[in-house]
Amino acid sequence: MRITTRNARFQQWVALLSNRTKRAQLGEFVVQGVRPITLAVERGWAIRALLYDGDRPRLSEWATRLLRTELSHTQGAQQVALST
């Protein structure tokens, strides 16, 4: 799936980053960064969506491996390419 910054779902993710009330209402939050994401995966947290830069010509080995893992497919996590 590919979305832009004007997409309603993208706007919801932005709200989750900065709005504690929204996080509490939805019971969701955003984890960002290599180490925090790695820890979340290692601890078996339910992942609803994996967001990545869809405009990058090549992702890092870590990101590519994460997107290809069986974990992301078995949990039903959406893989979302963000585009400007």
Give average pLDDT by consecutive 10-residue segment, the chain, 84 residues. Answer: 87 93 93 92 88 91 85 71 85
What single DSSP character describes residue 68? H
**Regarding the domain delimited by 2-83, which CATH topology (the fold level of the hierarchy) does it fall under?**
60s Ribosomal Protein L30; Chain: A; (3.30.1330)
Residue 25's pLDDT is 94
pLDDT of residue 2: 84
**71, two tokens:** 């974990």
Residue 33: predicted pLDDT = 92
Compute the distance between CA of residue 59 and CA of residue 50 in angstroms, rounded to an integer.
Answer: 13
Euclidean distance between CA atoms 54 and 4, whole angstroms: 10
The pLDDT of residue 44 is: 86
pLDDT of residue 74: 57
Side chain identity at residue 26, one-letter code: L
> pLDDT at position 75, please?
66
Distance CA 48, CA 54 (A): 18
